């Protein structure tokens, strides 16, 4: 009697275990398991993908708060939120601008801060919707850290504000023009610029002016400079000295999403206006 009872209980437990083993895993648990596995396998990739993101304002380490990442590859604009669309023929634009030297702007021949190098600004005759006040200049690229990151490395004479607010030089791509040129030609603050460097094109705003005596040209924010020359370790005391950077200035076009009380801008609006403008870019024959 006891033996038969034991056998019956054993068979019942065996049947329960078989049912449990054969039951399917609930979808929620199955998804959770796959997510964990994917996270584990991708952890190194995710870490590497952030290695070229925004640089921290104090330590130079990377963060990814504003989608304005610096790509470490010398021939790629992948991941840079203010880069020109890949469909835009940058080489053709550069060639047309470099040959447009028939309209030099008077009294707009500025030093670059490097020996006796000079940079002449030219006015471009546009056959597009870019409007008037379109200029181009080929210059170097020194680092401007004015604004909320004025204490960046090597920036001994930085100012806590830019000419048009409290921009962050490490979070906003901006370029700099001489104050006299801005005043004489009514260049709007924060106006659009297309910057061609290393055969790549990026968009920026005219976020600061240079009022030194004598005035110089060829400056850009920390973020812009490091994006153009990611392998050169540029800072407030070390710029790109060669005058091989082309600045195309759209003095009457200003992207939306700019608040002078904010250290950041709407980079999507900047890229949208930049792509629209450069896809229609054409010089008058």
Which residue numbers in the chain have pLDDT < 70?
A: 1-76, 128-131, 154-158, 285
Report if residue 61 sits inside a domain: no
Report if residue 193 sits inside a domain: yes
Report if residue 284 sits inside a domain: no
* Claim to verify: residue 45 and residue 89 sit in the same structural domain: no
* Claim to verify: residue 256 and residue 117 sit in the same structural domain: yes
Report if residue 107 sits inside a domain: yes
The total number of structural domains that make up the chain: 2
Question: For the CA atoms of 24, 26, 32, 35, what is the dihedral angle to 10 degrees?
Answer: 50
* Claim to verify: residue 145 and residue 194 sit in the same structural domain: yes
* Claim to verify: residue 232 and residue 271 sit in the same structural domain: yes
| Segments forming the whole domain that contains residue 169 | 80-279
The pLDDT score that the predictor gives to residue 151 is: 73
Report if residue 271 sits inside a domain: yes
* Claim to verify: residue 18 and residue 148 sit in the same structural domain: no
The pLDDT score that the predictor gives to residue 10 is: 54
* Claim to verify: residue 38 and residue 90 sit in the same structural domain: no
Report if residue 223 sits inside a domain: yes
The pLDDT score that the predictor gives to residue 131 is: 65
pLDDT tens digits along 35-62: 323 333 333 333 333 333 343 433 333 3
Report if residue 75 sits inside a domain: no
pLDDT tens digits along 120-174: 999 999 876 666 789 999 999 999 988 887 777 766 666 778 898 889 999 999 9
* Claim to verify: residue 127 and residue 193 sit in the same structural domain: yes
The pLDDT score that the predictor gives to residue 80 is: 95
* Claim to verify: residue 84 and residue 45 sit in the same structural domain: no
Average pLDDT across the chain, whole number: 78
| Whole-prediction pTM | 0.74
Q: Contact 90/245 with Cβ under 8 angstroms? A: no
Q: Contact 192/254 with Cβ under 8 angstroms? A: yes
* Claim to verify: residue 44 and residue 113 sit in the same structural domain: no
The pLDDT score that the predictor gives to residue 54 is: 40
């Amino acid at each position: 009697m006891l033996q038969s009872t034991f056998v019956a209980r054993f068979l019942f437990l065996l049947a329960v275990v078989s049912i449990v083993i054969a039951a399917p895993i609930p979808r929620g648990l199955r998804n959770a398991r796959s997510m964990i596995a994917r996270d584990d396998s991708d952890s190194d990739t995710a870490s590497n993908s952030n290695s070229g993101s925004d640089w921290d304002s104090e330590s130079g380490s990377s963060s990814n708060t504003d989608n304005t990442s610096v790509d470490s590859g010398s021939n790629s604009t992948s991941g840079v939120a203010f880069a020109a669309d890949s469909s835009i023929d940058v080489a053709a634009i550069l060639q047309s601008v470099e040959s447009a030297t028939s309209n030099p702007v008077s009294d707009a021949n500025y030093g670059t801060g490097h020996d006796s190098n000079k940079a002449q600004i030219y006015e471009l005759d546009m056959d597009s919707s870019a409007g008037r006040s379109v200029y181009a200049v080929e210059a170097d690229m020194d680092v401007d850290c004015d604004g909320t990151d004025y204490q960046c490395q090597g920036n001994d004479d930085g100012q806590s504000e830019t000419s048009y607010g409290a921009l962050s030089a490490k979070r906003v791509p901006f370029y700099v023009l001489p104050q006299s040129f801005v005043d004489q030609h009514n260049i709007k603050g924060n106006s659009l610029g297309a910057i061609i460097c290393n055969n790549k094109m990026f968009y920026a705003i005219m976020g600061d002016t240079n009022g030194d005596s004598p005035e110089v040209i060829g400056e850009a924010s920390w973020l812009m400079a490091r994006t153009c020359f990611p392998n050169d370790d540029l800072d407030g005391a070390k710029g790109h000295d060669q005058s091989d950077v082309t600045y195309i200035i759209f003095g009457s076009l200003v992207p939306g999403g700019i608040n002078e009380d904010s250290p950041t801008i709407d980079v999507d609006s900047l890229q949208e206006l930049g792509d629209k403008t450069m896809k229609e870019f054409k010089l008058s024959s």
